[in-house]
């Protein structure tokens, strides 16, 4: 979050533009709104709260004064609440590339829309593997069942599935097994090994990446 007390909207927009249209960054800009009035109301609220905390009058006059002070404190708090809400209504949300996010009926829904767009930018291929059942894929593949990917709703050839195709591409780069493990994680490498071994008759290892199931199982 960036506020108008420290930066201008132009600076925020320029910084987000510099980040580029593929950046998942999201910036919330809170404009400088009634700065002097907010400062005064905040100071008044804190001062009256301190007085009320210390004052414990026993006379009728003292209790009357305390009630008046309580009323002043509530007035300051009402102003703070009103002006803060107005400042939030003027807030703007920017995506990487400098685009202002205008979707949504309020700030909360606008931020939600921006966050969803940021996730797509951060994980552009997430939809390819967004399915329940990968644990079942591992289980079935470990038993040599060629239809293992049916657990994630796929009925084609294993090496044509987007996830397996991406894994095969990584294997074909010639990377060492250790590098594949660091890049992809043990779970994905295991699934690839199991799927390829189910089709090539090598249940313990895949020669293309020289990793054994024993070495990657958690």
Question: 100 and 21, same structural domain?
Answer: yes
Q: How far apart are CA 206 and CA 208, in angstroms?
A: 5
Where a domain ends, among 78, 98, 122?
A: 122
Kindly report the backbone phi and psi dihedral angles of residue 13, in degrees, each rounded to the nearest multiple of 5, phi listed first. -60, -40
Question: 86 and 157, same structural domain?
Answer: no
Q: Confidence class of residue 193 from pLDDT cuts 50, 70 and 90?
A: low
Q: What is the mean pLDDT of residues 138-148?
A: 73
Most trustworthy range by pLDDT among 14-28, 115-129, 141-155: 14-28
Q: How far apart are CA 196 and CA 218, in angstroms?
A: 19
Placement of tokens 């009256």 in the chain: 48
Residue 26: helix, strand or coil by DSSP?
strand
Kindly report the backbone phi and psi dihedral angles of residue 187, in degrees, each rounded to the nearest multiple of 5, phi listed first. -60, -50
- 84-97 burial: b if 16+ Cβ within 10 Å, else e: eeebeeebbbbbbe
Which residue from 135, 121, 154 is spatially nearest to 194, judged by alpha carbons? 135
**Half-sphere exposure (Cβ direction) of 60: Cα atoms closer than 13 Å:** 0
Query: What pLDDT does residue 198 have?
Result: 47
Where a domain ends, among 70, 98, 122?
A: 122
Query: What pLDDT does residue 115 have?
Result: 94
pLDDT at 24 exceeding the cut of 70: yes
Question: 8 and 92, same structural domain?
Answer: yes
Question: In terms of pLDDT, which residue wins out, 72 or 130?
Answer: 72
The vertex-14 CA angle with 9 and 19, nearest 5°, equals 130
Domain count, the chain: 2
Contact 104, 112 (CB under 8 A): yes
β-strands 2-3, 26-30 pairing: parallel
pLDDT at 21 exceeding the cut of 70: yes
Q: What is the mean pLDDT of residues 56-83?
A: 90
pLDDT above 70: percentage of residues in the chain: 76
pLDDT at 76 exceeding the cut of 70: yes
Question: 169 and 101, same structural domain?
Answer: no
Q: What is the mean pLDDT of residues 26-34?
A: 89
Question: 108 and 47, same structural domain?
Answer: yes
Question: 93 and 140, same structural domain?
Answer: no
Question: 75 and 11, same structural domain?
Answer: yes
Q: What is the mean pLDDT of residues 84-105?
A: 91
Where a domain ends, among 122, 151, 177?
A: 122
Question: 19 and 77, same structural domain?
Answer: yes
Q: Confidence class of residue 126 from pLDDT cuts 50, 70 and 90?
A: confident
Instruction: Report pTM.
Output: 0.61
Q: What is the pLDDT of residues 32-50, one digit of tens each?
A: 888 888 889 999 999 999 9
The CA-based diameter of the chain, rounded to the nearest angstrom, is: 95
Question: 133 and 111, same structural domain?
Answer: no
Question: 134 and 117, same structural domain?
Answer: no
Kindly report the backbone phi and psi dihedral angles of residue 138, in degrees, each rounded to the nearest multiple of 5, phi listed first. -60, -45
Question: 137 and 69, same structural domain?
Answer: no
Q: What is the mean pLDDT of residues 165-194?
A: 66
pLDDT at 10 exceeding the cut of 60: yes
Contacts of 94 (CB under 8 A, 6+ apart): 12, 13, 16, 26, 27, 29, 100, 101
Q: What is the mean pLDDT of residues 71-90?
A: 90
Range(s) of the domain holding residue 141: 128-216
pLDDT at 208 exceeding the cut of 50: no
Question: 28 and 69, same structural domain?
Answer: yes
């Amino acid at each position: 979050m960036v506020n108008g007390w420290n930066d201008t909207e132009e600076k925020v927009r320029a910084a987000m533009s510099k980040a580029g249209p593929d950046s998942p960054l999201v910036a919330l800009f809170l404009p400088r709104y009634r700065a002097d009035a907010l400062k005064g109301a905040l100071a008044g609220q804190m001062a009256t709260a301190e007085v009320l905390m210390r004052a414990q009058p026993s006379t009728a006059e003292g209790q009357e004064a305390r009630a008046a002070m309580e009323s002043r404190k509530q007035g300051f708090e009402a102003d703070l609440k009103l002006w803060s809400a107005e400042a939030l209504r003027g807030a703007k949300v920017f995506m990487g590339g400098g685009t202002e996010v205008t979707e949504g009926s309020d700030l909360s829904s606008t931020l939600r829309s921006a966050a969803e767009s940021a996730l797509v930018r951060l994980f552009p291929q997430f939809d390819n593997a967004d399915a329940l059942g990968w644990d079942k894929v591992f289980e079935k593949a470990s038993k040599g069942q060629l239809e293992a990917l049916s657990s994630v709703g796929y009925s084609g050839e294993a090496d044509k599935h987007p996830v397996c195709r991406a894994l095969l591409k990584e294997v074909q780069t010639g990377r060492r097994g250790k590098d594949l493990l660091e890049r992809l994680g043990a779970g994905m490498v295991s699934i690839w090994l199991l799927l390829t071994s189910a089709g090539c008759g090598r249940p313990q290892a895949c020669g293309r990446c020289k990793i054994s199931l024993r070495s990657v199982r958690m």
